[in-house]
Chains A and B, each alone.
Chain A
Amino acid sequence: MPPPSQTDGALCAAFLEGDKNAFGELMRRHQQTVFRLVRRYAATPDEARDLTQRAFLQAFEAASRTLPRLAAAPGEIPFKAWLLRIAINLGKNQVRDGARWARAPLEAVEASAERPPDAQAALERAESEALTRRAVTALPKRQREVFTLRIDGGLPFAEIAETLGISEGNAKSHFHYAVKRLRDEVRTLSVVPNVPKGQS
């Protein structure tokens, strides 16, 4: 079992030299985050699992192509950044190819254990959630990436910036725009009283 202090890059290099334990450790470290990112775009848990697996395989593939080049110019493989970017892209492609996004949030809502006691309020709440989640998948690329890495992945802005190769201030700015855009969408489409129309 590799020591937990080992960096992702070191684990990745060890795995590419045939260390199966390094592979397992990398997966255990990141599979929850990747799964949380892709489940927004998946219709079923199995689909989310499949997307998670594909994200890992593609990241390992990218690492195996890059490793020989790093021998010439030493550096660390930015494995997590690749993995998360691949996961987001796979998720978006899933939506584009299958147009399945409409089902995913509703199923997720059904699976949710927390429900307001009032049926009408619950219905309105579910509608607003579905609208907002749909609006998230329709955000401009960079805003969507930053927003989902923050909300679904739970990453701090510094790590989001590192993942996407932008500055931390830029990441915050994209998130800020995304929130304002979503707020406007919700105001236009929703009947939720929490976001009243005409208020700044």
Chain B
Amino acid sequence: MNCEQVELALLEPERSPEVQAHLSTCEACQAFARDLGVVTELAALPEPSATERAALEGLPEATWAEWRKGQRSRQHWLGYAAAAGFGALVAAAGFWSARPVREVVVERVVERPAVQLASAEFEQPNLSPDDVFFEVTWPDLPEGEDP
């Protein structure tokens, strides 16, 4: 075992014979073991005093009451939120149904007499069907030129 492995092994309460053997010959690991003991002892808090122990008495009951209070308060808030949401929905529906509707142009078009609409389709109603078509011919090319 190297020193780092021994130092990590020293963190556990039990010491294997291998660790003990290393420790008996290694001054650095002996120093770490000593420091570990000192540091943990200095850092540890004393056992809870009588006042502290008394402070814990009745904690489950008090915490239960606090939890119930929180739940009730949350239910109230959820109720308020649901009511506010419903109110907003009703208001939105009211606004939607009461909104001003624009008169649509279609109505005026429909109101026109049918004759007027028919005549509106042809700008020159007197043209015969033959006048509508015209012949398409290729232009004459000068001689010797290919298209």
Closest B residue by C-beta to A182: B39
Cβ of A186 within 8 Å of any chain B Cβ, yes or no, is: yes
Segment at the A interface, from B63-71, B94-102, B138-146:
B63-71
Partner of B56, one of A32, A108, A112, A192: A32
- Indicate whether A186 sits within 8 Å of B42 (C-beta atoms), given known contacts A172-B8, A179-B35: yes
Interface SS of B by simple majority = helix
Q: In the complex the two chains form, is A40's CB within 8 Å of B45's CB?
A: yes
Partner of B39, one of A23, A105, A195: A195
Q: In the complex the two chains form, is B56's CB within 8 Å of A31's CB?
A: yes
Closest A residue by C-beta to B12: A157
Cβ of A118 within 8 Å of any chain B Cβ, yes or no, is: no
Partner of A27, one of B28, B42, B48, B63: B63
Residues of A close to B36: CB separation below 8 A? 179
Instruction: For the complex, give the distance between the alpha carbons of A146 and B43 in Å.
Output: 13
- Indicate whether A173 sits within 8 Å of B8 (C-beta atoms), given known contacts A32-B56, A195-B35: yes
Interface SS of A by simple majority = helix
Cβ of B137 within 8 Å of any chain A Cβ, yes or no, is: no
- Indicate whether A183 sits within 8 Å of B39 (C-beta atoms), given known contacts A46-B55, A133-B45: yes
Segment at the B interface, from A49-57, A70-78, A80-88, A92-100:
A49-57
Q: In the complex the two chains form, is A24's CB within 8 Å of B60's CB?
A: yes
Chain A nearest Cβ from B121, distance in angstroms: 66
Cβ of B130 within 8 Å of any chain A Cβ, yes or no, is: no
Instruction: For the complex, give the distance between the alpha carbons of A151 and B67 in Å.
Output: 30
Residues of A close to B43: CB separation below 8 A? 129, 132-133, 135-136, 147, 151, 182
Partner of A152, one of B34, B45, B52, B60: B45
Interface string of A1-36 (1 = CB under 8 A from B): 000000000000000000010011001100110011
Interface string of B56-97 (1 = CB under 8 A from A): 100110111011001000000000000000000000000000
Instruction: For the complex, give the distance between the alpha carbons of A35 and B45 in Å.
Output: 12
Cβ of A175 within 8 Å of any chain B Cβ, yes or no, is: yes
- Indicate whether A195 sits within 8 Å of B38 (C-beta atoms), given known contacts A39-B45, A133-B43: yes
Residues of A close to B34: CB separation below 8 A? 194
Counting contact residues on chain B (CB < 8 A from A), the size range is 20 to 34
Instruction: For the complex, give the distance between the alpha carbons of A195 and B41 in Å.
Output: 12
Cβ of B124 within 8 Å of any chain A Cβ, yes or no, is: no
Residues of A close to B39: CB separation below 8 A? 132, 179, 182-183, 186, 195
Q: In the complex the two chains form, is B48's CB within 8 Å of A57's CB?
A: no
Instruction: For the complex, give the distance between the alpha carbons of A31 and B56 in Å.
Output: 8
Cβ of B21 within 8 Å of any chain A Cβ, yes or no, is: no
Cβ of A45 within 8 Å of any chain B Cβ, yes or no, is: yes
Chain A nearest Cβ from B29, distance in angstroms: 9
Instruction: For the complex, give the distance between the alpha carbons of A53 and B55 in Å.
Output: 11
Q: In the complex the two chains form, is B42's CB within 8 Å of A128's CB?
A: yes
Q: 5 A–B contact pairs at CB < 8 A?
A: A39-B48, A40-B45, A105-B45, A132-B42, A151-B40
Known: A111-B49, A111-B52. 9 other contacts (CB 8 A): A31-B60, A35-B48, A35-B52, A56-B63, A57-B70, A133-B43, A182-B39, A183-B38, A200-B31
In the complex, the 6 A-B pairs of residues with the closest C-beta atoms, listed nearest first: A132-B42, A112-B46, A27-B60, A45-B55, A49-B55, A111-B49
